[in-house]
Amino acid sequence: MAHVRLPTVLRPSAGGNSSLEVNGESIREILEAISSKYPQFVSQVLTEDGELHKFVNVYLNDDDVRYLEKLETKVGTDDRISILPAVAGGME
């Protein structure tokens, strides 16, 4: 099972959990497994087209999946997945 860490902003849509142990062979399967248990989670992470929202970053261990195989990135049983909201801003 992969270990998925969730940021504070996503915890309410995942039953209040800060982390989950999830089975799946790819990032997509992991996100689908979470969404099957917590249906409100999917809209927070994926677009209607099934792709990652621009403001959501997903890391497999320390690598951004956007630079790997995106949602098709393979996941091993001991991998760590971190889902993080993008942070923007600056001085005006």
pLDDT in tens, the chain (92 residues): 999 999 999 999 999 999 999 999 999 999 999 999 999 999 999 999 999 999 999 999 999 999 999 999 999 989 999 999 887 655 65
Q: Which CATH superfamily is domain 2-85 in?
A: Beta-grasp domain (3.10.20.30)
For the chain, the structural domain boundaries read: 2-85
Cβ–Cβ < 8 Å for 60, 26: no
Cα separation, 70 vs 49, in Å, equals: 14
Q: Is the pTM of this model over 0.85?
A: yes
